[in-house]
A = this chain, B = another copy of it.
Amino acid sequence: MKIICQKDILQKGVNIVSKAVPSKTTMPILECILLDASEGQIKLTANDMELGIETKINGEIEDPGKVALDAKIFSEIVRRLPDNDVTIETDNNFNTLITCEKAKFNIPGKEGSDFAYLPEIEKDHYISLSQFTLKEIIRQTIFSIADNENNRMMSGELIEINGSELRIVSLDGHRISIRKVELKDDYGQMKVVVPGKTLGEVAKILSGDAESEVLMFFTKNHVLFEFDDTTVVSRLIEGEYFKINQMLSGDYETKVQINKRELASCIDRATLLVKESDKKPIIMNVLDELMELKLVSSIGSLNEEILITKSGKDIMIGFNPKFLMDALRVIDDEEVTLYMVNPKAPCFIKDKKESYIYLILPVNFIA
């Protein structure tokens, strides 16, 4: 194989596919990036068997062929090359010479045929949305997946299509995050659970451009994302997602409108008094026109007051400050509305259209 391409193009491609290189694996071939120039175009591929990414890059093929190169070494090399044309050439033993200006790297490669290619995916069911929207709704929900492996379903996010409405849901047993967006077309009914890791990596690769589209194809076991010159294929999490609709009742006893920045700053201050080992709640005392906030820990105490607009009953309720903070951080509105029933029942933060719903369970506290 012998190919020539520009350093910046090569680097961009390597960065994209590197997201699918496993940090730990018992199969050394998975730690590689496959360079495939055997079929008239240059493709880079990485695949950890759950998540696979392929991207095409522009370049010249002088001698068709393919080679698998250690992803970490190869990307380090590419990153430090001068900003010029890079020539990559392999011999019959897959020893690979990478030349750029007067720098010549020599590293061992592996036979490409050992490589695990991306699975073939049927392209029957799909949706289309903008890169911006997909990147945003992932960011706005991914923080509340559970990262432990005890409950595989909680480590994924539900993506549900209902006509032209897309709903994305994550939950970890203490809270639920939901975002809804309107799609341009009616795509019927679909429901899949995508691994959080896949969504996180896809969000990193997406340009976030509002004008560029992503196509998402769904099969029984896989989801495929197609955008720019890149294809991402991931396994789905099998099984039935949690029934969340019954938890989303619209009843409330107390409704509070509060300035988001003020609330977030207060929680941020309170958090510094919380040590990992003793999780102290932030206690909200909701009165007419005023919310008193309080956190007491072994380090010290914080008391603060914020002006609010309230309707309904007074309530005193405690929360894990981190859960409130996570939700507030991804809400763009200047003012947020909290709906509460009692100190044992979940609190909802949502807008009128319910384009976002953040449900947070309160915690017990001693007043």
Contact = CB atoms under 8 A, between A and B. Distances in A.
A82 B266 CA distance: 9
Given A81-B269, A269-B77, A269-B81, A103 B299 contact: no
Interface of A: 73, 76-77, 80-82, 102-108, 265-266, 268-269, 272-273, 299-306
A103 B304 contact: yes
Given A102-B306, A306-B102, A269 B107 contact: no
A302 B103 CA distance: 7
Given A80-B268, A265-B82, A272-B80, A73 B103 contact: no
A148 B303 CA distance: 46
Contact of A105 (B103, B265, B268, B302): B302
A303 B269 contact: no
Nearest to A307: B102
Main secondary structure of the interface of A (DSSP, over half): mixed
A2 to B, nearest CB: 18
Copies in the complex: 2
Chain A to chain B: the 5 pairs with minimum beta-carbon distance, closest first: A107-B300, A76-B272, A106-B301, A104-B303, A80-B269
A276 to B, nearest CB: 14
A305 B99 CA distance: 12
Contacts of A104: 302-304
Contact of A73 (B76, B268, B299): B299
A103 B269 contact: yes
A269 B82 CA distance: 10
B299 A107 contact: yes
27 contacts: A73-B272, A73-B299, A73-B300, A76-B272, A80-B265, A80-B268, A80-B269, A80-B272, A81-B269, A82-B265, A102-B304, A102-B306, A103-B266, A103-B302, A103-B303, A104-B302, A104-B303, A104-B304, A105-B269, A105-B300, A105-B302, A106-B300, A106-B301, A106-B302, A106-B303, A107-B299, A108-B300
A67 to B, nearest CB: 13
A33 to B, nearest CB: 15
A113 B167 CA distance: 62
A69 to B, nearest CB: 10
Contacts of A273: 73
Contacts of A306: 102
A82 B305 CA distance: 13
A43 B300 CA distance: 24
A280 B277 CA distance: 44
A246 to B, nearest CB: 39
Nearest to A107: B300
